């Protein structure tokens, strides 16, 4: 993915990593459209950043995805980058079905079906572009489990393998697949995460991501240094130690 000159749609980006990445990409000379469920947040973004385009979208709702895709493509026919940013993370106790079943279904719907449906809505258009990118968003937890978030871990592991598989299927097209793999970052994804000393500051994360995109435009995975501890535990042979360390700090493993 080139660092500039793109038209980029980032659903699930009214806050956190998505919004920070959107602003940095806009500053680098890209046209950026963000999407979100809450109209008040979209209006706030428009007021504070009038050069950022917005569209209402609920990535857990297939009809909303279809409607938003039609709007985006009508207004931005040169769209060439899709970033499947939306995601939720919930604490679960899998010894108690009433604790996890609803959250597990919601997590899979948002974190896995959401990106699948988004890609389905845009793939034909992206294939018709001379140079296009699908950026998926997994997690360091795709490679080492945080005990309290089983469904989140599983959904992100699925995104990793989906990315690997799509890259093979799209190898003879103009569409590249790049996987962004965040570590714990100081956002509101989980309670307490915005102020956690174990989470990476958001501005530092996004700055490193932008530098990696610029330095490695053909990268298959975007990995800041902080996530490599989780990503390569099995390859290094210290996976058990990684899992123990990840789960030792606090209930959220940050």
CB 222 within 8 A of CB 181: yes
User: H-type helices in the chain, by residue range?
Assistant: 16-27, 39-48, 62-75, 97-108, 114-127, 150-169, 202-215, 228-231, 233-236, 239-246
Distance separating alpha carbons of residues 13 and 54, to the nearest angstrom? 10
Burial track 123-137 (b if 16+ CB lie within 10 A, e otherwise): bebbeebeebbbbbb
Distance separating alpha carbons of residues 147 and 91, to the nearest angstrom? 9
CATH topology of domain 7-246: Rossmann fold (3.40.50)
What are the structural domain ranges in the chain? 7-246
Residue pointed to by tokens 């800041």: 224
Distance separating alpha carbons of residues 215 and 207, to the nearest angstrom? 12
pLDDT in tens, 75-124: 999 999 999 998 999 999 999 988 899 999 999 999 999 999 999 999 99
pLDDT in tens, 192-250: 777 787 889 999 999 999 999 999 999 999 999 999 999 999 999 999 999 999 999 65
Distance separating alpha carbons of residues 186 and 61, to the nearest angstrom? 27
Distance separating alpha carbons of residues 234 and 251, to the nearest angstrom? 23
- This prediction has a pTM of 0.94
Residues sharing a CB contact under 8 Å with residue 250, sequence separation 6 or more, in sequence order: 192, 196, 198
pLDDT in tens, 180-190: 999 999 987 77
Considering 143, 152, 205, 229, which one is annotated as catalytic? 152
Active site residue 152: yes
């Amino acid at each position: 993915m080139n660092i500039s000159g793109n038209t980029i749609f980032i659903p699930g980006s009214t806050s956190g990593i998505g919004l920070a990445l959107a602003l940095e990409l806009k500053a680098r000379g890209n046209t950026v459209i963000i999407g979100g469920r809450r109209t008040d947040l979209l209006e706030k973004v428009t007021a504070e950043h009038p050069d950022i385009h917005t569209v209402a979208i609920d990535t857990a709702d297939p009809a909303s995805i279809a409607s938003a895709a039609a709007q985006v493509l009508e207004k931005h026919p040169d769209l060439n980058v899709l970033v499947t940013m939306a995601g939720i993370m919930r604490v679960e106790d899998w010894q108690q079905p009433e604790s996890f079943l609803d959250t597990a279904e919601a997590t899979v719907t948002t974190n896995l079906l959401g990106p699948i449906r988004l890609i389905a809505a845009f793939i034909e258009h992206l294939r018709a572009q001379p140079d296009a990118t699908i950026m998926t968003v997994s997690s360091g937890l795709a490679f080492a489990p945080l005990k309290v978030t089983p469904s989140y871990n599983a959904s992100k592991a699925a995104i990793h393998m989906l990315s690997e598989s799509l890259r093979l299927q799209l190898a003879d097209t103009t569409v590249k697949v790049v996987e962004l793999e965040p570590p714990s970052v100081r956002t509101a994804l989980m309670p307490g995460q915005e102020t956690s000393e174990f989470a990476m500051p958001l501005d530092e994360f996004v700055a490193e991501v932008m530098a990696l995109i610029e330095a490695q435009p053909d990268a298959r995975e975007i990995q800041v240094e902080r996530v490599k501890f989780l990503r390569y535990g099995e390859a290094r042979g210290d996976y058990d130690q990684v899992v123990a360390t990840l789960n030792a700090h606090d209930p959220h493993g940050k």
